[in-house]
Amino acid sequence: MAFQEKYLITPRYLSKPSKRRSGQLITAGVKFIVAHDTGNPKSTADGNVRYYENSRDQKSASAHLFVDDKTIVECIPALTAPPEKAWHVLYNVDTDNLLYGHNANDAAIGVEYCFGDNIDPDEAYRKYIWVMAYICHRFQLDPAKSVVGHFFLDPTRKTDPVTGLAQSRRTYDQLLRDVATEYAACGGDPLVAPQVDADRSGTARVTTRLNIRKGAPRRTADLVQAVAAGTVLNYIDWVDDGEPVNGNARWYRDANGNFFWSGGVSTG
Confidence (pLDDT) at 130: 97
For 106, the enclosing helix (H) or strand (E) is: helix 104-107
Query: Would you say residue 193 lies in a domain?
Result: no
First to last CA, the chain: 45
Task: Please report, for the domain that includes residue 233, its CATH number.
Answer: 2.30.30.40
Query: Would you say residue 109 lies in a domain?
Result: yes
As for how many domains the chain has, the answer is 2
Q: Are residues 85 and 121 in the same domain?
A: yes
Confidence (pLDDT) at 192: 54
Query: Would you say residue 190 lies in a domain?
Result: no
Q: How far is CA 182 from CA 10, 13, 16, 129, 256, in A?
A: 21, 27, 34, 7, 21
Confidence (pLDDT) at 1: 56
Side chain identity, residue 141: L
Query: Would you say residue 1 lies in a domain?
Result: no
Query: Would you say residue 97 lies in a domain?
Result: yes
Determine contact, residues 61/134, Cβ cutoff 8 Å.
no
Confidence (pLDDT) at 40: 96
Confidence (pLDDT) at 216: 85
Q: Are residues 73 and 136 in the same domain?
A: yes
Q: Are residues 16 and 67 in the same domain?
A: yes
Q: Are residues 112 and 44 in the same domain?
A: yes
Query: Would you say residue 129 lies in a domain?
Result: yes
Task: Please report, for the domain that includes residue 136, its CATH number.
Answer: 3.40.80.10
| β-pairing verdict for 108-113 and 147-149 | unpaired
Confidence (pLDDT) at 84: 97
Q: Are residues 118 and 214 in the same domain?
A: no
Of 126, 160, 185, which one is at a domain's C-terminal end? 185
Tell me the pTM. Answer: 0.73
Q: Where are the beta strands (DSSP E) in 177-258?
A: 202-206, 210-213, 223-227, 232-235, 237-239, 251-253
Of 185, 216, 243, which one is at a domain's C-terminal end? 185
Domain extent, residue 225, equals: 198-267
Q: Are residues 243 and 133 in the same domain?
A: no
For 36, the enclosing helix (H) or strand (E) is: strand 32-37
Q: Are residues 153 and 251 in the same domain?
A: no
Of 185, 219, 241, which one is at a domain's C-terminal end? 185
Confidence (pLDDT) at 256: 73
Query: Would you say residue 4 lies in a domain?
Result: no
**Cα 103 from Cα 88, distance rounded (Å):** 10
Q: Are residues 26 and 56 in the same domain?
A: yes
pLDDT in tens, the chain (268 residues): 589 999 999 999 999 999 999 999 999 999 999 999 999 999 999 999 999 999 999 999 999 999 999 999 999 999 999 999 999 999 999 999 988 989 999 999 999 999 999 999 999 999 999 999 999 999 999 998 899 999 999 999 999 999 999 988 999 999 999 999 999 999 887 765 555 666 788 899 999 999 999 888 989 888 878 888 888 888 889 999 889 999 999 999 987 778 999 999 998 7
DSSP bridge partners of 11: 74
Determine contact, residues 145/68, Cβ cutoff 8 Å.
no
Determine contact, residues 258/215, Cβ cutoff 8 Å.
yes
Determine contact, residues 68/119, Cβ cutoff 8 Å.
yes
